[in-house]
Structure formats: C-alpha cells, structure tokens
Structure 1
C-alpha cells in the first residue's frame, strides 16, 4: 500500500514538472458557445450590402472577444493551479524525507534493543539486582515509551499526509490536462473568427474599407447620442478616488497601443488586460477577465459612476472599458484597432463595477 502511494507520488512529481515547464494552459470558464460564423459571401458581389458586411465583421469580433475572455480566465487559473502543484510537489518531497528520517530513528531504537540482548528496557530493569538502577531507570523507560509512541504517531500522520498530497496533486494534474484541451479549443475559436473577419475586410476595395470605417464611427456616434439623450449622465459629477485617478492615468497613457488578444502590456493589450493592469498600477489588483470583473467586483448604478469605474458590455460580459468622465471610456476595442477614447454608450452596457469600493 505504502509503496503504491510512493510510486503515485513519484509519478505525480514528474507530471508536475512537465506541466510547469510547458506553456501555461488553463481552465476556461463556461461561456455561451458562439454560433458558427456564416460562410463569407464574396464581396463586392451585390448579394449583401456594406452595412450587412459591417455587422457580420462586428459579430465575428465580438465572438472572438468572448472566446478571448474565456482563454484569459483559463490562463489565470492555470497559473494558480501550477503554483498549487509546485507546493504539493515540495510537500510530497518533504513528506518522503520525513518518513525516511522517522524510519531511521525507529531503526536506531531497534538496534539499541538488539545490543541490549534483545530485552526491552523494562525487562532489563526487573532483572537488575541494584534498586538504584531500577529507580533511576524508571523515568528513562517512561520517556522511551513516550518517544516510541510519538514516533509511531508522527510516522502514521506523515504517511497519511503524503497520501493526501499525492491525491491532491494527481487531481490537479488531471484538471490541467483537461484544461489544455479546453484552452486549445478556445484559441482555435478565436483564430477562426478573427481570420473570418479579416477575410471579409480583405475582400473590400480601398474605398469600401474607408466607407466601412466611417460607418463604424457613425454607428458609434448614433449610439452615444441616444445614450446621452436618455439622461444616463444626469447629475453624474463624482470625482475619482485617489486609486481611481492612478488607474485612469495608467489607462489613458496606453492610448494608441494595439489590441492583441490575451495581451496585458506593456506594448499591447486586450480589453480586460488594459483594465486589470491599470488597477494593478493603482495597487488595487482585480480579476484578469471582464467576466470575472463583472462577477466579483461590487456593482454600482450608472448614476453613481465615477472615473476609474469599469463599464461591462454585452450580455455575456465579454468586453470592458474604463470610465474616465464626461461620458467617455478608454478601452482596447478589438483586433486591428488601438487603445482609444470613445463614448461610454457606443456599445450595449451590461452594468458598472467599482474596483476600490
């Protein structure tokens, strides 16, 4: 039984080392599976309008954004799991060393008894004809009995701990292996949708690409105007906290840097990479992904919004921007775009969260 557990511990340690030297992979949180992208219709071909192409490109990038959020969460959790495996590996090694030490001590006691003629200390005292030796040795016998009992108890506890560490490490290893598959699937999903969007854009003539960009800006402007007209910003004049000012300063300093999915600086960012790094710079760490930011951070009403707060977008919480005041956010939009300042109402708002409440 013990040899089987030790063998399992050794296998687990080898597996752990393999994981920790391999590229970090991780578990992806459950997110709605994006619907397969529709086959791209050659454009221009008269079958679809430029507006329809724009909407399809926007959908593809949103789907890529949702997959990116899942990938990022997987990476974050993978780092944590890898750290746990490292700790368990050390605990297993320490436990085996401790067991070896305890067995060595037990062996020393056995050898001492053998040198005394194979008689236990109690029997030797009874056979002794010297009362003083008997009385002097009583305490030694008791101490020896207690030490032997303590040795056996510690050995048993250490063996049990070793078995627990082995089981935990094996479980974490199995999870990491399963997560490698999940994250690979998320990456494939991201790459496929970005490639499909780029293919659609590549089929447009130069003039049509310029028109497409104007249409994107017009759609954003229309959405922002409608949001402002709704009275969403009425009486919003709150000042940022000290940490919020630091976060805003960091985020706005990144304007112009490219969006790269999975990136968290310093040369490029994705949407939640920007917001998480901004708040890390303000000494207030927050979750890595927009979905976890929405799930874990305190929610605040839009009317109570202040600079530094994060606005979460879309029903699946797949995008995030930092509110900087005057109805604007700084965010990393999507592949092919740079970190920029835009209207807070240009996308569907899910809600607002506050990192430093």
Structure 2
C-alpha cells in the first residue's frame, strides 16, 4: 500500500526541462567552462556526456510526438476497419437481394420461353448491367404492370449495390493508406528509441547512473506528494484520479493503454475509462475533450496538455502535481505541473 508523506524539496524543484545530467555533471561542466577557448573538447568528456544526454532527451521528445501520431493513425485504422466491415456486410446483403430479384425475373423469362419465346424486353435480365436499357421507356411499355414494377425495383436495388461497392472500395483504400501510416510512424518511433538507447549505452557507467537517477526515478526514492484533504470537483474526476494514482509505478510503453503499462495519453484514457468516461486516444484529441480552464483554476482530474503541439498529457491531482507516463524507461509518477510548458488544461 502506498503511504503519503509531506511534499519534499525534490518534488518542489524537479523540472523535466532542466538538463537531466546537470546535477551529476555540474562539477565537470564548471571545470570545462573554466578552460581556455582553445582547449580540446576531447580532453573533457563531460561535454560529450552532456551533449549525449541532451540528444537522448530530444530523441525521447521526438519519439513521443511520433507515438501520438502512431496512436492517432492506429485509432483511425480501427475505425476504418469497422466501417469497411459494416459496408461489406451491407453490400453483401444488397447483392443477395439483387440475386433474389434476378431469380424471380429469370423464372418469368423461363416461363415465357416455354410458352413460345422470351419477350425482347426480358432479355435485359440476362445482362449484368440492365440499367441503360431500362432507361428507355419503351422497354417498360412492353411489359405488364407487375413485370415493370419488378424491373424498376431491380434497377433501384442494383444502383444501391453499385454505390455501396464504390463506397466499400473507397473505404478499403483509406484503410490501406492508414495501415501504411501506422507502419511508418511505428518505424519512426522505433528508430528514435533505438538511437536514444545506443547513446545511453555509450555513456560511462557513472554518467548513465546519474541520468537514471535524475530523469527516470529508479525506484529507490519515489516522490509521493501530500494530497490530504484534496477533493476532485466531480465523482467521475475522483474515480479517474483514484485510477491514475493506482497506476503509479507502472512502466512506460509507447502505444500502450494499460492496465499494466502506458504511454502518456494511454494512461489518461485508461484512467477516465475506469470512471466510465470515453476519451480520445491521443493527447491532441484529449485537449478538445472537455472545457478549457485556466491553469490557476485546475482541479484534480483535469487534463494538463503540454508543449505547443499538445504532444504530452498528464492528469492534475492537486497540490501542484500531475501524474503522467513520462517516457521509455520511466515509471508512471508524480511531477510538478510546471515540469514543461503547459499548452492548456481540459476538464472532461
């Protein structure tokens, strides 16, 4: 069971926008800055370490943007797949209806043939596309009222069938394009994460350990803010806050929506699903999933959207803290609401 303690100095001062290796490498960086301008950077590996760490941070940020694009394309693909399946089902039913009508009219043609020959007008029934012939009024004039009604109905149903076939083909083409977009974004995420991992692996052991301690909360000193007495503004917000806090310590996994691992928008979507509220899949979508409120009026359960492109989201839980899924290698955790530039606050 998670216990609560008073807000620590660490929780008040930790900001993701600060270079994550600054604490571990401050001494080395100061020594580097004191060297003459002509000094060889190769003689001061701390400069390379800081550059590598900054590059890792940048790659993780880019990977998160690519992840949200992947999430959007993946969600769209699922929608298109359902829409295409529904259209295919409707098209199949329309085809069955056309087949039944052709069968009835074919039986009429067969009866006429046995009686001495098929009326020329009924020969159109043997065609897959009788519509052009049916446009001629004289063709219907040769048939009795019942036969003409059957043919008009066949024409109408055939037109519907052809329209549904075109719609289905268009939807399937969109589906294929969306699948290709998912694959492209997936490769983009994997490429950026692999590059970041290579850079981390190349860091000396002490620098890598410092990076993990500074930016990824290695589990030995988890920060837990004091949220005593903080009450969300609604019952569903309270349920979402309880869910997101229960996810503390779960690993980050891009493209995941829980319940054992999450990316940023997957976490907030999952938490609100536990409260019976459906949120869009991406942080950009979640930005518009409610009423915008000023940051100064944020209440527990509000969604805090970060960066100008709305590529990150966390849930405000009170006392100046959010819970969010930060980035690969990190756990779902508390961080100050001002850990990075706030774009907007949404109240679902």
Once residues 342 and 75 of structure 2 are traced to their aligned partners in structure 1, the CA distance between those partners, rounded to angstroms, is 25
* TM-score, scaled to structure 1: 0.70
Counterpart mapping for 1:105-184 below 5 A: 105-113=104-112, 145-184=144-183
Q: 1:213 to 1:99 in 2, by over 3 A?
A: same
Paired position in structure 2 for 1:129: none
Aligned counterpart, 1:221: none
The structural deviation recorded for 1:343 is 1.1
Contact 2:74 2:179 (8 Å CA) reproduced: no
> Any idea what SS the aligned residue of 2:45 has?
coil
3-state SS of the aligned residue for 2:47?
coil
Quick check: 1:238–1:304 contact (8 Å CA) kept in 2?
no
Is the CA contact (8 Å cut-off) linking 1:44 and 1:204 kept in structure 2?
no
Match of 1:257 among 250, 254, 258: 250
Judge conservation of contact 2:283–2:311 (CA < 8 Å) in 1: yes
Q: CA deviation at 1:112?
A: 4.7
1:323 aligns with 2:316: yes
In structure 2, the residue matched to 1:196 is 195
Q: Structure 1, residues 155-181: CA drift from partner, whole Å, max 9, x if none?
A: 112111111111111112222222233
Give the root-mean-square deviation of aligned CA atoms: 2.7
1:336-355 paired onto structure 2 within 5 Å? 336-355=329-348
Kindly provide the CA deviation profile for residues 91-145 of structure 1, in whole angstroms up to 9, marking residues without a partner as x: 121111111100112123344556667799xxxxxxxxxxxxxxxxxxxxxxx95
Alignment partner, residue 129 of structure 2: none
Contact map agreement 2:72 2:281 (CA 8 A) in 1:
yes
1:228-263: per-residue Cα shift (whole Å, max 9, x none)? xxxxxxxxx873211111111111111111100001
Structure 1 gaps, min length 5: 1-41, 121-143, 219-236
Change in 2 beyond 3 A, CA 1:48/1:252: same
| 1:284 equivalenced with 2:283 (yes/no) | no
> Which of residues 304, 312, 326 in structure 1 aligns to 2:305?
312
Instruction: Indicate conservation of the 8 Å contact 1:265/1:273, yes or no.
Output: yes
> Would the aligned equivalents of 2:314 and 2:322 in 1 still touch at CA under 8 Å?
yes
Distance 1:119 1:172 in 2: 41
Distance verdict in 2 for CA 1:85–1:178, change over 3 Å: same
Instruction: Quote the offset at 1:277 in angstroms.
Output: 1.1
Q: 1:199 to 1:98 in 2, by over 3 A?
A: same
Return the alpha-carbon distance in structure 1 between the equivalents of residues 313 and 88 of structure 2: 38
In structure 1, what is the Cα distance between the partners aligned to 2:302 and 2:46?
43
Taking the aligned partners of 1:257 and 1:169, their CA distance within structure 2 comes to: 41
Q: Secondary structure at the match of 1:185?
A: helix
2:242 is the counterpart of 1:243: no
Q: 1:274-329 deviations in whole A, cap 9, x for unaligned? A: 11111111111010010111245432222332111100111111110011111111
Following superposition, the deviation at residue 154 of structure 1 comes to 2.1
Query: 2: CA distance between counterparts of 1:309 and 1:204?
Result: 38
What is the TM-score of this pair, normalised by structure 2?
0.72
CA distance in 1, matches of 2:43, 2:93: 68
Q: How does 1:265-276 map to 2 (within 5 A)?
A: 265-276=258-269
Local SS of the residue matching 2:314: strand
1: distance between equivalents of 2:52 and 2:305?
26
Q: How many residues align?
A: 273
| CA positional deviation for 1:267 | 1.4
Distance 1:119 1:279, change over 3 A: closer
Segments of structure 2 that go 5 or more residues without pairing to the other structure are 1-40, 120-142, 218-229
